Structure 1
Amino acid sequence: SRLKAIQKRGGKIVVVDPRRTATARLADQHLFIKPAQDVLLLLALVHVIVAQGWVQAGRLEPFIDGLDQLEDVVDGFAPEQVAGVVGISAETIHQLAHDFAHAPSAVCYGRMGVSTQQFGGLCQWLINVLNIITGNFDEPGGAMFPLAAFNTTTAPRAGKFGRWHSRVRNLPEYFGELPCAVMAEEILTPGTGQIKAMVTIAGNPVLSTPNGRQLDNAFEQLDFMLAIDIYINETTRHANIILPPATGLEVEHYDIAFHQLAVRNTAKYSPALFEISAEQRYDYQIYRALAKRMATAERPYNANDPRNQLSLSQMLDFGLRSGPYRKNGVSVAQLQQSPHGIDLGPLQSALPDRLFTPDHRINLLPDPFLADLPRVKSTYLSPTSQPRTSATSQPLLLIGRRDLRSNNSWMHNSQRLVKGKNRCTVLINSADAHTHHIKNNQLVQVTSAVGSVTLPAQISDDIMQGVISIPHGWGHDRAGIQMTTAQAHAGVSLNDLTDHTHLDPLTGNAAFNGIPVTISPAG
């Protein structure tokens, strides 16, 4: 309905995606793009806007550093130079840049597809650059920031990146976390610092991280594994101990994360509908009990810390009462009186007040991004990067997808969600199906550098030529899991094909999209 409302107001929606998604079908224009090459399109759009003198940063310009250097940064990425690689004509790129720069308001938006690829870090940076230089950053109709009632962005926190690195591949940490792609090797590689024990919390990394079969094997080698989970799934089946927390309607709920990403400021609290039994524990009670038992002299457990005494609703209430809407009386009690939530109004411009950089300015051209740009040219625009073989002998590029009723692996254990047609299929363009002698619904074998799977083909021109797509979260064929419905609709795991060595070197993130594969009729 929001997309239709944009169009009703005279707005235009353009979707850029290797697959014609449900969103693309609603858009005014859909542009196919080769996987992992969004970075070239974004650079070309910035190039046109700068070259044509269309930069209008608006009220934020006095707080922006780097505008004058931007022309040199995007030199060599004109639409005519990238069009043949990305699969979008130079004329279309010029028109897209013109329309974006001259619209009364506009926003460039990208999430998982542009993040989980080999240039994901650059893509997210360039999306911000594009919004900033056209005056669409922190402005109504553009990219804006919510102000959540339970606000986790009040205290200035500088980004923490690369303070230490992984043991085996020397990949950088970010805010104390390492890329999931290093998990298996850190378990399997002997030496000082080798991971020998693991705690997983409500996740299923065997199905959700690259080269899942390798991680499956790695978990089997652990000396000890604890899982905090309600399911015995592909990951938790390796655990020595499983601690199942209270779940679902037994648990009160306030969404901390997604209120920070909302398109309107709201607050909603849902109380638990059922009491838990004396033997059950909430997640936070399990975490506290583990922290207390794992305390050491160097890391003692402080029983007097309020975080170790208050219930979740008490902590939530404290955050709400001390938050940005405290003068509005927002509290747990108020939310309990408003079971459908409360509306706190539209998003408001927040900068420069909420600029938490050390100098309270926007650095348009951070050094790590600039240092990564030569990799784009060497990968896509150098003479050696161009294919020297015929189109029919080129590998296909694999991307993932999510279905509305199977966003994550746990949803496959609900009969209501998995009933109907088989959704674990490989989407393939009709021209590619003809080239590879594949018929609709035929079982095919898809092979990558790390594995091979067999599943039915679904021929559709909703996927661009040269690309195939397999959905995320399936692969419930491992022995030892206790998810009966999911096992009856096992499917195959996309991440038995994704490669743990295929990364975005800038961020260390796994590159799930754009994996080279071959396809052929099965046996």
Structure 2
Amino acid sequence: MTKTLHHRACHLCEAICGLTIETTVLPDEGTRITSIKGDSLDSFSRGHICPKAVALQDIQNDPDRLRQPMRRVGEQWQAIGWQEAFELVAERLADIQQRHGQNAVAVYQGNPSVHNYGLMTHSNYFLGQLKTRNRFSATSVDQLPHHLSSFLIYGHGLLLPIADIDHTDFMLILGGNPLASNGSIMTVPDVEKRLKAIQGRGGKVVVVDPRRSETAAIADQHMFVRPGGDAALLLGLLNTLFEEGLTRVTHLPVDGLDEVRQAIAGLHAEAMSPRCGVPAEQIRQLARDFAAADKAVCYGRMGISTQAFGTLCHWLVQLINLVTGNLDRVGGALCTQPAVDLVASTSGGHFNLWQSRVSGLPEYAGELPVSALAEEMLVEGEGQVRALITVAGNPVLSTPNGRRLDQALDGLEFMLSIDLYINETTRHADLILPSTSALENDHYDTTFNTFAVRNVTRFNRAILEKPEGALHDWEIFVGLAKAFAAKTGRELKATMPPAQMIDYGLRSGLYGDASDWKLSLETLANHPHGLDLGALQPNLASRLKTANKRVQAAPEVILADLARFAAVALPDADELLLIGRRHVRSNNSWMHNYHRLVKGKPRHQLLMHPADLARRGLVNGQQVSVTSRVGVIEVEVVESLDMMPGVVSLPHGWGHGRAGVRMGIAQSQPGASANDLTDERSMDALSGNAVLNGVPVQVAAA
């Protein structure tokens, strides 16, 4: 036996924890993974890992994972050669676009697209040739308000200030549960120790959430908030800062603060309290505590993105950091300066240059809100979507009203999926093209280094050899691009492997040839545990992408959205509102097929406060039906004092019982899909982001 140690970062969530992986070469069996542990020499993650990293070997060895292209023939799946598959795709898509127009082909890219650098570098090499305006992604499920607010305020959707967690004295968390997510749009491995370190140096952690989450449980203070009420709470906080003279002068060039103050003048804590369920005096005291801290940061994540005023929420988060002097300040909110800088190398973006055909929803950065995807397939007429390409996504389980989308997929003329599995979405495909596994590929985290709480960089070498006959994801897109270009007679520009692109990005970036670091792939090859490039530092003023190089505190479209906010009626006190939740052993819809991650007590039940159970004559452990405008599910209910009365919680990503799926373990523990209840008509009207939190439901005995 020959044993080898390898070092790389885990790619399964945003924390990118460093790993030490031991492989063993066995006679007649080849290379096997024999150990996965945290890399104690990784200066960023410091040896920390979560259970998902250990399950990398389960993904590698999963018998349900596809290892060759598969074509659906009737109800059966048959193997097909790569070149034949590429030519089939080119023929079908070219024919559909010729008959129905370019927009008749739609694209959906799932969350793992940003975890695989070949998808980042090469997907558009093929997809860009389609020239369709029907582009969709997971961005408009859970994070579009982040990017839209930053685009409007700072001029670039990726210029996102990150919580300087290692140096702050006061961290206010809204709609985030980093102990379960490992951080999100805040790349922060070993987050529990980092939060406890705030407390250890005399600081304070405050969590605002309708559930006493895992993060709330270790915080100094937890405040319940009514789902969908975060914008009201944030407006009350910002108004208090203005009214009580708690603001500080900022060093940043800013336009529009006077307009902001005037626009929100009537939205004070007392007026906002009934909207958010937080007493006015608590709102005011929280504002005072935040302003009194030497270094403070307000951090908002998915819970405040996936509600009717998600963009307002993220705008208000930025303003609270700004007016207290904590934006672009050590210990406050700072922009990461990554080795490969996507902000410097890409345009700032655009918004509402076109709209969806049926509902007129606005595009952002070339993508339409995914809530419109099903109707674009179902509503007949010129421009109707007739074909779909999904890339590393399972929108039937992860987007609103999944059953309607399930129905829409049945009516397509052609569907292509680039995916590792036959899942609830890809079962509809005519063709599935699987790439190599993550451990058979090299990788560089362009996205998550951009959102990291320290400036870090590393290049991950493949751990296992590429199997004979397999293709990396980027090679699949090159093959598709060549076949489509040949079919349509278009000229195709030359390309290069992703590693060469990263090497160019490293050399031309802030730490490249002109710096003391002289970063390149060769440099990173000599640092297998990654490189720490230093703590975050103020840099926003010089990186602003707005037309006049000033922070735009009062974008017109956001101020106009305040009228929509003011027009909403007070919530019904007797209404049950559904929220989601996340678990450290899950990652959206695709990590339920590995025994070590799903073993133990079930965790896909509906959580409900005991008083709400009693009011409906229900008991702990009972099967209940949960009904919304769009659907009904059955699920086990579990009583929990961690729930705010009037709020129920169901995790997303489950619901694996549909016929035609071959993910064995997931099917044996199907759970119910929360997105059979979420409503495609309910969204943040400004951005088009889906509303997944604050969904009105009724709960009764099944």
If the length of structure 2 is used for normalisation, what is the TM-score?
0.71
Residue 666 (structure 2) pairs with residue 477 (structure 1): no
Deviation at 1:421, TM superposition (A): 0.6
* 4+ residue runs over 6 A deviation: 296-299
Residue 257 (structure 2) pairs with residue 67 (structure 1): yes
| Cα distance in 2, alignment partners of residues 170 and 442 from structure 1 | 43
| Cα distance in 1, alignment partners of residues 289 and 643 from structure 2 | 26
* Pairing of 1:439-450 with structure 2 (within 5 A): 439-450=619-630
CA contact (8 A) 2:235 2:272 kept: no
Which stretch has the larger CA shift, 73-82 or 481-490? 73-82
| Cα distance in 2, alignment partners of residues 134 and 26 from structure 1 | 26
Paired residue for 1:251, among 441, 444, 456?
A: 441
Paired residue for 1:321, among 500, 507, 518?
A: 507
Q: What is the match of residue 199 of structure 2?
A: 7
Q: What is the match of residue 506 of structure 1?
A: 686
CA contact (8 A) 1:249 1:272 kept: yes
Deviation at 1:295, TM superposition (A): 2.4
Q: What is the match of residue 428 of structure 1?
A: 608
CA contact (8 A) 1:291 1:301 kept: no
Paired residue for 2:420, among 230, 240, 248?
A: 230
Residue 576 (structure 2) pairs with residue 356 (structure 1): no
Task: State the AA in 2 paired with 1:131.
Answer: N
Task: State the AA in 1 paired with 2:622.
Answer: Q
| Cα distance in 2, alignment partners of residues 278 and 342 from structure 1 | 33
Structure (1 or 2) with the greater strand fraction:
2
Deviation at 1:340, TM superposition (A): 1.2
The 3-state SS of whatever aligns with 1:471 is coil
* Pairing of 1:268-283 with structure 2 (within 5 A): 268-283=458-473
| Cα distance in 2, alignment partners of residues 515 and 271 from structure 1 | 44
CA contact (8 A) 1:24 1:30 kept: yes
Deviation at 1:315, TM superposition (A): 1.3
CA contact (8 A) 1:156 1:356 kept: no
Deviations along 1:277-316, one digit per CA (max 9) or x if unpaired, are 331111111111112222279983424x3xx1x2121111
| Cα distance in 2, alignment partners of residues 52 and 99 from structure 1 | 12
| Cα distance in 2, alignment partners of residues 301 and 28 from structure 1 | 61
CA contact (8 A) 1:50 1:70 kept: no
* Pairing of 1:233-312 with structure 2 (within 5 A): 233-295=423-485, 300-303=490-493, 305=494, 308=495, 310-312=496-498
Residue 346 (structure 2) pairs with residue 166 (structure 1): no
Deviation at 1:438, TM superposition (A): 1.5
| Cα distance in 2, alignment partners of residues 437 and 494 from structure 1 | 23
CA contact (8 A) 1:429 1:464 kept: yes
Q: What is the match of residue 339 of structure 2?
A: 149
Deviation at 1:157, TM superposition (A): 2.6
**What's the Cα RMSD here?**
1.4
Structure 2 runs not aligned, ≥5 long: 1-192
The 3-state SS of whatever aligns with 2:359 is coil
| Cα distance in 1, alignment partners of residues 489 and 693 from structure 2 | 41
The 3-state SS of whatever aligns with 2:591 is helix
Which stretch has the larger CA shift, 87-96 or 273-282? 273-282
Residue 58 (structure 2) pairs with residue 58 (structure 1): no
Paired residue for 1:48, among 224, 237, 240?
A: 240
| Cα distance in 1, alignment partners of residues 325 and 216 from structure 2 | 25
Deviation at 1:318, TM superposition (A): 1.1
Deviation at 1:248, TM superposition (A): 2.1
Which stretch has the larger CA shift, 470-479 or 433-442? 433-442
Deviations along 1:237-257, one digit per CA (max 9) or x if unpaired, are 000000111112101111111
Residue 327 (structure 2) pairs with residue 137 (structure 1): yes
Task: State the AA in 1 paired with 2:548.
Answer: D
Identity of aligned residues (%): 49
What is the number of residues matched between the two proteins?
Answer: 507
Deviations along 1:216-259, one digit per CA (max 9) or x if unpaired, are 01111100000001100000000000011111210111111110
Deviation at 1:85, TM superposition (A): 2.5
Deviation at 1:262, TM superposition (A): 0.3
| Cα distance in 2, alignment partners of residues 418 and 267 from structure 1 | 32
Deviation at 1:505, TM superposition (A): 0.5
* Pairing of 1:118-133 with structure 2 (within 5 A): 118-133=308-323
The 3-state SS of whatever aligns with 1:343 is strand
Q: What is the match of residue 644 of structure 2?
A: 464
| Cα distance in 2, alignment partners of residues 301 and 205 from structure 1 | 33
Deviation at 1:156, TM superposition (A): 6.6
The 3-state SS of whatever aligns with 2:696 is strand
Deviations along 1:58-96, one digit per CA (max 9) or x if unpaired, are 211xx1011222321111111111112311111111111
Structure 1 runs not aligned, ≥5 long: none
CA contact (8 A) 2:335 2:540 kept: no
If the length of structure 1 is used for normalisation, what is the TM-score?
0.95
Which stretch has the larger CA shift, 151-160 or 442-451? 151-160
| Cα distance in 1, alignment partners of residues 436 and 648 from structure 2 | 40
| Cα distance in 2, alignment partners of residues 282 and 155 from structure 1 | 25
| Cα distance in 2, alignment partners of residues 467 and 424 from structure 1 | 16
Q: What is the match of residue 372 of structure 1?
A: 561
